[in-house]
Amino acid sequence: MANMVVVFDSDVATSAAKRSSLARLSELVSKGTNVKLLYSPNSPYVRKCLVVASELGLRERIETVDADANPTRRNPEIAAKNPLGKLPTLIADDGAAIYDSPVICEYLNALGGGTLIPRNGPARWKVLVEQALADGILDAAVLARYEAALRPESLRWKEWSAGQEDKITLGLDELERRAAGFGDRVDLGTIAFACMLGYIDFRFAHLSWRSTRPKTAAWLQKFSQRESMIKAPAPR
Ligand SMILES: N[C@@H](CCC(=O)N[C@@H](CS)C(=O)NCC(=O)O)C(=O)O
């Protein structure tokens, strides 16, 4: 089979609609207008957005609004903006809603000068895959948490929970293989990993992930000292 070369320019690929809404948000931010972030201090996806905003110098422009998201009880305040009823959801002052967390991070990155996500080439895909890995571990963790905390005991499915926990374990093993190469990198990939680990410490301490993953542990210890991480503390 012949090799195929795909040339992709993210600027050309940006749709007119996205450009105009980006221009609108950019205008708001340059005017100093606040945007609202529907928020929970326990959400690791929210934390990722806040750390990204901080690193880009945009944190003061984001007003956080407490909202309680629940997979079975719709919160009408969130659902009015985001039919998925999930946090985080960002609301511009004209009412436009932006979700989910990867899209919010892309938005903030574009507004803040684009330093946290490489614009193109292998470095871009690497960072985006790292975010997907961190978010995927979180998706498994949040589902397992809902199963244990929300689902009535008689309906719980052990194998399903074990399957989610396996994704967490294998995902953390992959992170350990990558961590030695992180050096001083501060980008969407490393931010996503750090916020994910904060949630694993919060809800899955019993996994004792540090005991078999020394490189990740050493890297997180240093990364957690960043002002952006301290200003958006891990849930506890
Ligand atoms: N892919 C979404 C996941 C967001 C998510 O699952 N958030 C949780 C809170 S940590 C939520 O809103 N759960 C409510 C629900 O599942 O309906 C993102 O990256 O923003």
Taking the centre of ligand 1 as the mean of its atom positions, its distance from the CA of residue 43, in whole angstroms, is 8
Residue 213 has pLDDT above 80, yes or no: yes
What's the pLDDT score for residue 4?
A: 38
Band of pLDDT at residue 20, cut at 50, 70 and 90? low
Taking the centre of ligand 1 as the mean of its atom positions, its distance from the CA of residue 74, in whole angstroms, is 12
- Using an 8 Å Cβ cutoff, are 130 and 192 in contact? yes
- Using an 8 Å Cβ cutoff, are 75 and 86 in contact? no
User: If you take atom 16 of ligand 1, which residue's CA is the nearest one?
Assistant: 71
User: If you take atom 11 of ligand 1, which residue's CA is the nearest one?
Assistant: 86
Band of pLDDT at residue 2, cut at 50, 70 and 90? very low
Residue 181 has pLDDT above 60, yes or no: yes
What's the pLDDT score for residue 26?
A: 63
Domains located in the chain, CATH noted: 15-111 (3.40.30.10), 122-226 (1.20.1050.10)
For 27-34, which contacts have Cβ atoms below 8 Å and span 24 or more sequence positions? Answer: 28/92, 28/93, 29/58, 29/61, 29/111, 32/61, 33/61, 33/93, 34/61, 34/62, 34/63, 34/93
Taking the centre of ligand 1 as the mean of its atom positions, its distance from the CA of residue 98, in whole angstroms, is 13
What's the pLDDT score for residue 134?
A: 99
9-23, 171-185, 207-221: least confident range = 9-23
Taking the centre of ligand 1 as the mean of its atom positions, its distance from the CA of residue 73, in whole angstroms, is 13
Taking the centre of ligand 1 as the mean of its atom positions, its distance from the CA of residue 139, in whole angstroms, is 8
Task: Please give the mean pLDDT across all residues of the chain.
Answer: 90
35-93 per-position pLDDT tens digit: 999 999 999 999 999 999 999 999 999 999 999 999 999 999 999 999 999 999 999 87
User: If you take atom 2 of ligand 1, which residue's CA is the nearest one?
Assistant: 100
Residue 140 has pLDDT above 70, yes or no: yes
What's the pLDDT score for residue 29?
A: 59
What's the pLDDT score for residue 10?
A: 37
Q: Which of 87, 103, 128, 199 to mutate to test the pocket of ligand 1 (most atoms within 8 A of CB)?
A: 87
143-166 per-position pLDDT tens digit: 999 999 999 999 999 999 999 999
What's the pLDDT score for residue 14?
A: 43
